[in-house]
Amino acid sequence: LPPLEGKKIACNTDADCVPDPTQCHPHTCMTTTEAEGKTKPEMCTMMFDTQAAYSAADCTCDLGICKNKNIPESLTEPDTTLPQ
CA angle 55, 59, 65 (to 5 degrees): 145
The pLDDT confidence band at residue 51, using thresholds 50, 70 and 90, is: very high
- In the three-class reduction of DSSP (H, G, I as helix; E, B as strand; rest coil), residue 62 is classed as strand
Span 37-58, mean pLDDT?
94
Contact in structure between 10 and 66 (CB atoms under 8 Å): no
Give dist(CA 67, CA 84) in Å, integer: 31
pLDDT tens, 11-44?
999 999 999 999 999 999 999 999 999 999 999 9
Give dist(CA 80, CA 35) in Å, integer: 31
